[in-house]
Chain A
Amino acid sequence: MEKPTIILATSNGVGMGHLARASAVALALKEVANPIIVSMAGGIAEIPAFMGIRCEYIPGKDRMWMSREKWDIYLRDRLLALVEETNAKVLSFDGVIPYPGVIAAKNANPALKLVWVRRGLWQKKPQRFVLGLQSAMMDKVIEPGDIARSYDFGPTATRKEAVLTAPVSLFRKEDAMTREDARKALGLDLNRPTVLVQLGTGEGDVNEKMTAALSGLLGWKDLQVILTKAPVDKDGKSLAPEGLDLKVARYFPLAKVLHAFDAGICATGYNGVHELLPAQVPTVFVSNIRGTDDQEARARWCNDFGFALRADQADLADITAHFAPTKQI
């Protein structure tokens, strides 16, 4: 039997969570189907060459290349054209809110099966009011499991339409490189202590968190600090204090090289938590409170049950203290 084509679409959310989940699903599908990933996230650039999966970038409405109304139609038409080109049977959407263009594609092509991969741990945002109607348009709603699900008191927590799975992650023990191989792949010293920093930059408060975290690392002897993006503000000004040995590493999927790190500093997004902790990287989480994702709930769970440490994202001194040598738990 010919392999069916399945389109995995993702929004451009905060962080790489949507794209990482779609990549994990695509890898699992490769044996039996032809997965295609389409995404509004710039990170999709990393996927085709490294994972051998066909991909398309779709500019999100945030690019402002057209009006919102035109973008809804543009998205619908692009999805329908791709479905026709590839004879896809299923369109899976991983994102907080299925865009009108996604639902319009299903409405225009009833034979197409539409699936919503809907992460839990929502904050109480206005998007919750249309959950019922949006779910009713789907052939299936799937909730990727979250290790912190017992701390989920958001609007999706008590809904019944979703099928709950185990957590989704690109980290797989069997694929992960050894500490030595991972350090060689990243061009790191094999013996010096190494910390991975995965915090965002951009807005003022986010930049301040980055500076606070990096400041706490001062004084760690022989430390090498690896970041996934340059620690600079919008004007290119460095957010890092003097005296740290910093390196920006681009490696996809990062999950393969996580054993290179002695510790991690990370936002508490779905992806970071479900990659770093299964890889057993000792981590301090600093939540990003933007978006619908309830990162603080996830950070509290990780801290309360002893899997990681949580720094108070609203307290810069607390962030710094979590990395300094003297702070007592």
Chain B
Amino acid sequence: MLQDPAVRQRLSAKCAELPDTTGGQEIANMLYQLATAPKGKKSSGLTYKRLLVQDRISRGSRHVIMLGLRRLALVYRFLNPHIKVQEIDQEPPVFGDQTTAAELHPLIKSSTRFEHLISGASASYRKRREEIAFAAYGKETVITKTK
């Protein structure tokens, strides 16, 4: 029915009644007010700890379910083995401050780890990012993703 010009005309005309989508400006105003306000909300250590505990419990129950599913998946994979294997490159991560889609897409999709920096980043930021990457990836890594 989408091929019917009368249907398309009716839908298009109806959409003219929709409200303006000005929410982006409203949110921007709220964020700006917060950014220029003197003080933020004091974070509650107790709430934070409760959240961590809740996350652990939630993750724990999911873990038990996932163990069962994993066993089922292993049986299935034994019967239907993969043909291709995609590996995560164990080379050190690539750092870069690329800004074009042509440069960024292949880096983001690559199997080599990519550490993206904002343009104009300082040397001290780059150094800190290297420390963070080193702590996360370590010296030795294992292949964790297979297709």
Stretch of A178-186, A199-207, A304-312 lying at the B interface: A304-312
Minimal Cβ-Cβ distance residue in A for B51? A133
Which parts of A225-255 form the interface with B (CB within 8 Å)?
250, 252
How far is it, in angstroms, between the C-alpha of A86 and the C-alpha of B128 when the chains are bound? 13
How far is it, in angstroms, between the C-alpha of A56 and the C-alpha of B8 when the chains are bound? 40
CB within 8 A of A168: which of B7, B21, B116? B21
How far is it, in angstroms, between the C-alpha of A55 and the C-alpha of B55 when the chains are bound? 29
Shortest distance between the CB of A43 and any CB in chain B (Å): 9
Q: Is there contact, CB below 8 Å, between A278 and B35?
A: no
Binding site for B on A (CB under 8 A): 1, 4-6, 21, 24-25, 27-29, 32-33, 36, 42, 44-46, 48-50, 54-59, 63-66, 68, 70-71, 73-74, 77-78, 81-82, 84-86, 89-90, 92, 100, 103, 106-107, 110-115, 117, 126, 129-130, 133-134, 136-140, 142, 144-145, 147, 163, 165-172, 195, 216, 219-220, 250, 252, 262-263, 265, 274, 277-284, 305-309, 321-325, 327-329
Q: Is there contact, CB below 8 Å, between B34 and A86?
A: no
CB within 8 A of B47: which of A64, A133, A219? A133
How far is it, in angstroms, between the C-alpha of A100 and the C-alpha of B34 when the chains are bound? 22
Q: Does B64 belong to the interface (CB within 8 Å)?
A: no
The size of the chain B interface, using a CB distance under 8 A, is 75
Q: Which residues of B contact A84 (CB under 8 A)?
A: 125, 128
Q: Is there contact, CB below 8 Å, between A282 and B51?
A: no
Q: Is there contact, CB below 8 Å, between B21 and A166?
A: yes
Minimal Cβ-Cβ distance residue in A for B10? A306
Minimal Cβ-Cβ distance residue in B for A308? B11
Shortest distance between the CB of B89 and any CB in chain A (Å): 10
Q: Does B80 belong to the interface (CB within 8 Å)?
A: no
Q: Which residues of A contact B124 (CB under 8 A)?
A: 85
Shortest distance between the CB of B13 and any CB in chain A (Å): 8
Which parts of B54-74 form the interface with A (CB within 8 Å)?
54-55, 58-59
Q: Which residues of A contact B10 (CB under 8 A)?
A: 306
Q: Is there contact, CB below 8 Å, between A81 and B11?
A: no
Q: Is there contact, CB below 8 Å, between B30 and A282?
A: no
How far is it, in angstroms, between the C-alpha of A321 and the C-alpha of B3 when the chains are bound? 11
Q: Which residues of B contact A166 (CB under 8 A)?
A: 19-23, 26
Q: Which residues of B contact A126 (CB under 8 A)?
A: 58
Q: Which residues of B contact A92 (CB under 8 A)?
A: 27, 31
The answer to whether residues A54 and B119 also contact, given A74-B132, A283-B11 and a CB cut-off of 8 A, is yes
In the A-B complex, the 4 residue pairs with the smallest Cβ-Cβ separation, listed nearest first, are A24-B24, A45-B104, A28-B28, A169-B21
The answer to whether residues A110 and B43 also contact, given A28-B25, A168-B23, A169-B21 and a CB cut-off of 8 A, is yes
Q: Which residues of B contact A36 (CB under 8 A)?
A: 118
Shortest distance between the CB of A99 and any CB in chain B (Å): 10
Shortest distance between the CB of B137 and any CB in chain A (Å): 6
Q: Does B16 belong to the interface (CB within 8 Å)?
A: yes
Q: Is there contact, CB below 8 Å, between A90 and B21?
A: no
Minimal Cβ-Cβ distance residue in B for A72? B55
Q: Which residues of A contact B25 (CB under 8 A)?
A: 28
How far is it, in angstroms, between the C-alpha of A21 and the C-alpha of B28 when the chains are bound? 11
Q: Does B48 belong to the interface (CB within 8 Å)?
A: yes
How far is it, in angstroms, between the C-alpha of A269 and the C-alpha of B137 when the chains are bound? 34
Q: Which residues of A contact B105 (CB under 8 A)?
A: 42, 45
Q: Is there contact, CB below 8 Å, between B3 and A325?
A: yes
Q: Which residues of B contact A265 (CB under 8 A)?
A: 2
